[in-house]
Amino acid sequence: MDSLLGDAAERLFAQTCTPAVMRGIEQGQPAAPAWQACEDAGFADALVPETLGGAGLDLPEALPVVLAAGRHLCPYPIAHTMLARAWLARLGRPRPAGSIALAPHGLAIQGKRVTGASVPWIRAADHLLAQINGQVWLLATSAGHAQPNGVHGSLDGDAWWPLADAQCLGNGSPLDELAATAYAGLMAGAMERVLTLTLDYANTRAQFGKPIGRFQAVQQQISVMAEQVWAARMAAQLAFQGHGGLPQAMLAAMGKARASQAAPIVADIAHAVHGAIGITAEYDLQLYTRRLREWRLAGGSESHWHERIGAHALGSGADALTYLRTALCGAA
C-alpha cells in the first residue's frame, strides 16, 4: 500500500508541481490548478475515516505522500490539509473545500480583527486553521487581507481578517503537533531531493580532469549530508506514528526537532558543493534550500521542540533511558 500510494503521488506531483510551476506561484500565479489535480486524486482526504468519505488511512500509510510532496515542493499545503481534515472529521466539524494551512502560532485577536505575521501558506491556501488563545479558528483566506512578508519567494505573508468573518471552533487539541508532523515529512522529502541534486552535480562537474565527487574532501561533506538526510527520514517516520490519523505529541516533537536540526546542515553542504550556481534563479537547488530554511522555523524550530521534550522528560520523573524507551515506543 505504501509503495502504491507513494508511487501515485510521485507521478502526480512530477506532472503538476514542476519547478516552473513553483516559480510561477512564487511570482504570484494562482496555485488552484495544481491544487485541484491533487484534490481530484483524493490525497487530501486520505486520513479521513471511510465512514466520512475519506480513504481511512493511518499516519504511517500517508507518509509516502508527504515525502513526495516535499521532494516536489508542492506549492500548496497538502500535508497540512490531510492532517487538518482528519482533525476536523474526528471533531465532527464540517471540512471546507480547498486546501487548509495550519497556524498554531503567530495569530492574535486585536479589537475587531484577527491579525498574523508570516502566516503560513497564506498566498497558496484556501483556508487557515489557527490556534489563538487556546481556541481554534477557521479562516477563509479569501475573506482576509494578505501582503508579502518581505522574504524572497515565500508563500507566507502578513494578514488580517475582520473578526466577524472568523469561525470559532472552540477548544481543541494543540495544532502545533499537527504542524510539526506535516513539516517533518515535507522537510525529509525536500532533503532527499537536495541530496540527489548534489550527487548528480558532484558526479558531472569536472575539475582538474575528474568529477569533483571523486575528491575526498567533497566525498566527506556529501557523506555528512547523507547522514543528516536519512536521520531526517527516520525522524519523519517517528512523527508519522499515531492512531486515528492523528500524531502522538512527543513523537511529533522529536520528529520535527530532528528534521529542523538537519535542514541547515544539508542546505549549507549542498551550496558548498555546488558553488555559485546553486544560488542562481535558474537552478532548482535554491528553491529547496530556501524552503528548508523557512520550514525549519515553521511550527517551531528545533530549540522550541527540544524545550518541549525536555520539560516533558523532567515532568515524567523517569530516568533518561526509561524515558527514551517509553517515549519512542509511544507510551509517554
What's the pLDDT tens digit per position in 88-129? 999 899 999 999 999 999 999 999 999 999 999 999 999 999
Q: Is the pTM of this model over 0.85?
A: yes
Q: Percent of the chain having pLDDT more than 90? A: 88
Cα separation, 125 vs 182, whole angstroms: 15
Question: Where does CATH 1.10.540.10 sit in the chain?
Answer: 2-103+105-171
Q: Which of 260, 269, 250 is nearest to 328 (CA)?
A: 250
Hey, what's the cell of 315? 515532568
Whether residue 327 is predicted with pLDDT greater than 80 in this model: the reply is no
Q: Which of 269, 280, 281, 242 is nearest to 59 (CA)?
A: 242
- Residues 31, 98 contacting (CB under 8 angstroms): no
Question: Where does CATH 1.20.140.10 sit in the chain?
Answer: 176-328
DSSP label of 148:
E
Whether residue 150 is predicted with pLDDT greater than 80 in this model: the reply is yes
Q: Which CATH superfamily is domain 2-103+105-171 in?
A: Acyl-CoA dehydrogenase/oxidase, N-terminal domain (1.10.540.10)
Hey, what's the cell of 227? 547522514
Cα separation, 158 vs 120, whole angstroms: 9
Q: Which of 263, 270, 253, 293 is nearest to 218 (CA)?
A: 270
Q: Percent of the chain having pLDDT more than 70? A: 98
Whether residue 253 is predicted with pLDDT greater than 70 in this model: the reply is yes
- Residues 85, 244 contacting (CB under 8 angstroms): no
Whether residue 330 is predicted with pLDDT greater than 60 in this model: the reply is no
